[in-house]
Amino acid sequence: MFACFIKYIIDPGKIKESEEYAQAWIKLVQKYGGIHHGYFLPGNDADEFPKTDFSFPSMAKEGEMNIAVALFSFSDVETYEAYRKNVAEDKDCKVITERLKASRCFLRYERSFLRPIF
């Protein structure tokens, strides 16, 4: 098992578009054999979050408000490669990808593969 961690730089003015993209992509990962653990987007004024400096105050720094992350996992590389092949041909994937390009809600991203420790 391994996880794919994606860090997005988003346009904070396009949170709604980011949410729509996230909801569509969660379904695609699940449809093609993965387990999606969610997208995590910046909060808004209505959200109540704790202060960021609760532990190690001398090292704490307020995080940027234009960061979003996604985490999903696959049982093995073969399943992931099949997902990549299938999703590239999926009609829903093509639609949401075109919407992403038009909205530019995600400006860039970084992808990392991680192994779990339980």
- CATH class name, domain 2-6+8-43+63-72+80-114: alpha beta
- Say which residue, 55 or 49, is predicted with more confidence: 49
Q: How confident is the model at residue 51 (pLDDT cuts 50, 70, 90)?
A: confident
The sign of the CA dihedral 56, 59, 61, 114 is negative
Provide the residue ranges of all domains of the chain, joining segments of one domain with +.
2-6+8-43+63-72+80-114
Q: What was the pLDDT predicted at 27?
A: 95
Whether residue 3 contacts residue 71, with contact meaning beta carbons closer than 8 Å, is answered with: yes
Angle at 52 between CA 47 and CA 55, to 5 degrees: 140
Report in angstroms the alpha-carbon separations of 49 from 40, 52, 54, 61: 13, 9, 12, 15
Q: What was the pLDDT predicted at 49?
A: 84
Q: What was the pLDDT predicted at 48?
A: 87
Distance from C-alpha of 68 to C-alpha of 15, rounded to nearest angstrom: 10
Residues 6+ apart with CB under 8 A from 115: 1, 2, 3
pTM: 0.87
Residues 6+ apart with CB under 8 A from 105: 10, 11, 14, 15, 17, 18, 21
Q: What was the pLDDT predicted at 44?
A: 79
Q: pLDDT digit string (tens) for 58-117?
A: 787 778 889 999 999 999 999 999 999 999 999 999 999 998 889 999 999 999 999 999
